Amino acid sequence: MDKLQIALIFLGGFVLSRALVRTRVPERLVFLLLGRRHNGLSTVIGILALAAALLSLFIPNLITVLTLLPVLELLRRAFADRDHPGAVTPLTLAVIYGANIGGMGSVTGTPSNLLFLGYVTATRTPGMEQVGFASWLAWGVPLVLLSVAAAWCVLVLGFRTWGGHLPQVHLPVGPEQACHPLQRQVVILGGLYLVTAFVLSWLQAAHPEGGAAWTAVTALFTLALVGWLYLWPQPGGERILRWRDSYTGLPLRGFGLLALVGLLAGLFYALHLQDWLSARAAAWLPREGGAWMPLALALVTSFSTEVLSNSLVQVGLFLVIDSLGTALGVSPLSAMLIVTLSCTCAFMSPIATGVNALAFGGVRGVSLLRMLAVGALMNGVMAALVAWYVPAWVPWG
């Protein structure tokens, strides 16, 4: 996807997320989750993980996290009032896991997927002509759903969140606080934005020869969205967004941690650590391919990404795959896909991905030790799932 189009979709998603906050959509969601059905912690974790994954299929996963942070804050307050102060950690991890997982579902879902597409096209990797937007979706969406189910099991077991419903949970908002006269319009607009952004991403990926035209259409769409939210008066003369809504309530600590992740990535590239990683990975991986190679690739990728930039890890391991050739035991295209998907499966460290950084920094009270321990388990589960799924179910893998 064109970098300018990515930036435009990110901008559109950002202003829309601010409109959702302004019209109290997070309060509405929390009221529906806890105020009517009195769902327990395990159920809420599953809903959050699934919602984050599905949103990340359509929009950048950082925007998904930014949209759900107000929901997390309200849920934190609700469960803390019910003597569940530790609930904030599994709730936040549910969003982190779901947002990272959702990007695996489409070829435009994460920068790692686009890097994979660009690399196999540039190197003319055998089988690369079968990689397409529709074919990726066909196996990507089922993988996302399986991964969400795995994440839910890990969180429920890791935090022992079973125990039924919580009928006495104290809601931090009442019915009147969960309503806004412009809420319906913004929710409808959000749905239209998701569909339009997804279609424009598909057109850019499926028809790259018309890249400039698709980027121009995306620019017009984003301009219209921003103009309608900030400038177009609604009934009664009120505008959906005021300029101060663009920055009021943003998680500054989360953005600070996100900036640190970006600085570390730049430093790692400047030090050429991808070459160092290639040499180390060549020693870590089995010398003779076989059935364990996909799992070894997935584990090395996932745990390396915890401390190194995922793009750096991805490029470094691509170089290893090129050098190993037939010794892999699987096709180079399949091996590169396993590495690409595993780059987003880094769930331990707050600096592993931008999603981890923004969510960990944006929510108070998340336990770092619990995040590391349960994240290590999640890394292993997802490595096994990806290593099994790609050779078994991806037609061109």
pLDDT tens for 34-82 read 766 667 788 889 999 999 999 898 888 899 999 999 999 888 888 775 5
Distance CA(238)–CA(4), nearest Å, equals 32
Given a cut of 60, is residue 165 above it in pLDDT? Answer: no
Q: Are residues 260 and 335 in the same domain?
A: yes
Of the three residues 215, 246, 277, the one that is the final residue of a domain is: 246
- pLDDT band, very low/low/confident/very high, at 369 (cuts 50, 70, 90): very high
Kindly state the helix (H) or strand (E) to which residue 84 belongs, with its residue range: none
The residue type found at 63 is I
Q: Which two tokens stand for residue 279?
A: 């040499």
- Total domains in the chain come to 2
Residue closest to 41 by CA, chosen among 109, 93, 111 = 93
pLDDT at 179: 87
Residues 241-255 pLDDT 10s? 999 999 888 888 888
Distance CA(356)–CA(343), nearest Å, equals 13
Q: Are residues 82 and 162 in the same domain?
A: yes
Q: Are residues 299 and 233 in the same domain?
A: no
Is residue 38 within 8 A of residue 84, CB to CB? The reply is no
328 contact partners, CB below 8 Å, separation of at least 6: 289, 293, 321, 335
Q: Are residues 77 and 200 in the same domain?
A: yes
Average pLDDT over residues 366-393: 95
Q: Are residues 151 and 204 in the same domain?
A: yes
Domain range enclosing 84: 3-246
Given a cut of 70, is residue 183 above it in pLDDT? Answer: yes
- This prediction has a pTM of 0.90
Of the three residues 225, 246, 267, the one that is the final residue of a domain is: 246
Of the three residues 195, 226, 246, the one that is the final residue of a domain is: 246
Distance CA(128)–CA(125), nearest Å, equals 6
Average pLDDT over residues 268-274: 74
Residue 176's alpha-carbon distances to 31, 33, 352, in angstroms, are 10, 16, 40
Any idea what the Cα angle at residue 105 is, between residues 103 and 110, rounded to 5°? Answer: 30
DSSP code of 309? -
SS3 233: strand
Q: Are residues 362 and 266 in the same domain?
A: yes
Q: Are residues 16 and 39 in the same domain?
A: yes
Q: Are residues 141 and 260 in the same domain?
A: no
Average pLDDT, the chain: 86
- pLDDT band, very low/low/confident/very high, at 359 (cuts 50, 70, 90): very high
